[in-house]
Amino acid sequence: MQLCVLSMSPAIAKTSEKDIVAAARRMIRALGVDALTLRDVAEAVGIRAPSLYKRFDSKSALLQAVKADVLTRFETALRQAGTGQPPALAFTRMAAAYREFGTRRPEIYRLIHRPELKAEGLEAERASLVPAFEIITALVGPAHALAAARCTTSFLHGFVSMEIDGNFQQGGSTDEAFTFSVYVILQGLVNSASA
Amino acid sequence: MQLCVLSMSPAIAKTSEKDIVAAARRMIRALGVDALTLRDVAEAVGIRAPSLYKRFDSKSALLQAVKADVLTRFETALRQAGTGQPPALAFTRMAAAYREFGTRRPEIYRLIHRPELKAEGLEAERASLVPAFEIITALVGPAHALAAARCTTSFLHGFVSMEIDGNFQQGGSTDEAFTFSVYVILQGLVNSASA
DNA sequence: ACCTGAACACCGTTCAAGT
DNA sequence: ACCTGAACACCGTTCAAGT
């Protein structure tokens, strides 16, 4: 009986959700999300495009899974940068880690800020900025923490976006502008907290 | 002879570049750039999709023209907000005008920050931030103007992006966070300029 | 249970043909 | 000179059929 069942065994899985997400992430990093096709992702893991629908409801669902995966790595990078430092140093280190994550993987950074990819990413998106929020709370106290975190993450997101999009066209040192800006915001936050 | 030429006159133009750009802009504002199809744009101006190629080389070229058109309006809005005010007031007014432009037209704001639309937009993109640069130069002096402008425009772009993308999820007043942030950066810039 | 080829609707784009 | 229908390659997605 069992032998019979085994001989009638269904098709053996050639891949997994994890494999597919990893392949898609690599392809996005290399080519950008706009150039990603399901036929290519499928080929990279040794199956055909229709089979992807056994694991993900749609292309959007796959991209959401990639985004959630990346956001976990992002959160880890931010947390490692700030732990065990005094607040002001943690702040500048976290800022530098944020920028490095984005500039090293511009296409991945763009992916995690695609507004249409929200469902799975919403909680991961919030969680990814928790390390930054904790550092800023230590810096300015709980009363201004939320506004200060929004100030800081807005600046970091805007700077990295403009840098990877090539929107700093006026010459000058981008590194210098970043260092100056982080200093300006840090000073402004500390002053506002004591005011 | 002339009559003959006139009677053989070619098809009369049903539309113009300007009409097409305006129609595309309205449709993007309503539906977003991802939902825009050339067949729909063509229908909106009374022609068929292939005829668009008599006026624009590609969909990308049309989007670049829309982007350049919008950036001109954006520059005007920023300039009007700051003119004739003392530097610090011009700064906060310009910041508010920037935010209002983006939050009132989120899909248009996203369009002008599409990194793949660069060719026609590059110069217009630079020009659109000239009013901000002038205000900031008046505020901090020429030595720090470039870095200060990058700090400010990075923050503004990041804040507006996160706001329209729904990334401020923790409750609290977004208006308050914006006012606080503009104040923090203004104070930080003024202090750094005198340092 | 997972995989597949064939097919569908839709898109940007090309082109020969019309006036 | 501008417009058009037909067609092409490509895409996400569906589905009946295979093991």
**Section B122-134 average pLDDT:** 93
| Residue B107 half-sphere exposure toward CB, CA atoms < 13 A | 16
Rounded to whole angstroms, how far apart are CA atoms A86 and A93?
11
Assess contact for A154 and B181: CB atoms under 8 A.
yes
Structure confidence at residue B5 as a pLDDT band (50, 70, 90): very low
pLDDT score of B193: 80
**B168 within 8 A of B162, measured Cβ to Cβ:** yes
Whole-number mean pLDDT of chain A? 93
Lowest mean pLDDT among A100-114, B14-28, B41-55, B122-136: B122-136
Q: Residue A116 CA to nucleotide D8 C1', Å?
A: 31
- Closest nucleotide to A51 by C1' from CA: C3
> Are the Cβ atoms of B151 and A115 closer than 8 angstroms?
no
A170:B110 CB<8 A: no
Q: Is the pTM of this model over 0.85?
A: yes
Architecture per CATH, B70-194: Orthogonal Bundle (1.10)
Q: Give residue-wise pLDDT tens across range B55-99.
A: 999 999 999 999 999 999 999 999 999 999 999 999 999 999 999
In sequence order, the 6+-apart residues with CB closer than 8 A to the CB of B62 are B20, B21, B24, B38, B41, B52, B56
Nearest nucleotide to A40, CA against C1' atoms: D11
Compare CB distances from B188 to A110, A168, A185 and report the shortest one's residue: A185
Residue B9 — pLDDT band, cuts 50, 70, 90?
low
* Predicted pLDDT at A9: 54
Q: Do the Cβ atoms of B159 and B111 come closer than 8 Å? A: no
B53 Cβ contacts chain C strand, under 7 Å = yes
Q: Where are the domains of chain A?
A: 11-57, 70-194
Please report the pLDDT score of residue A3 as a whole number.
32
Whether the beta carbon of B141 falls within 7 A of nucleic chain C: the reply is no
In this complex, the residue of A118, A156, A186 whose CB is nearest that of residue B158 is A156
* pLDDT at residue number B160: 98
Rounded average pLDDT over B88-115: 98
Interface test with chain B among A99, A154, A162, A180, by most B beta carbons within 10 Å = A154
CATH 3.40.50 describes domain B11-57:
no
- A3-62: pLDDT as tens digits: 333 444 567 899 999 999 999 999 999 999 999 999 999 999 999 999 999 999 999 999
**Dist CA A68 CA A122 (whole Å):** 9
Question: Is B32 within 7 A of strand C by CB distance?
Answer: no
Contacts of B147 (CB under 8 A, 6+ apart): A172, A176, A177, A180, A181
Mean pLDDT of A124-131: 93
Query: Confidence class of residue A168 from pLDDT cuts 50, 70 and 90?
Result: very high
Distance CA A54 to C1' D13 in A: 12
What's the burial of B162, exposed, middle or buried (CB within 10 Å: 0-12/13-18/19+)? buried
Residue A123: pLDDT band with limits 50, 70, 90: confident
When comparing pLDDT for B2 and B106, which is higher? B106
Indicate whether A137 pLDDT > 80. yes
Nearest by CB to residue B146, choosing from A110, A157, A170, is A170
Contact A161 B158 (CB under 8 A): yes
The alpha-carbon gap from B113 to the nearest alpha carbon of chain A, in Å, equals 8
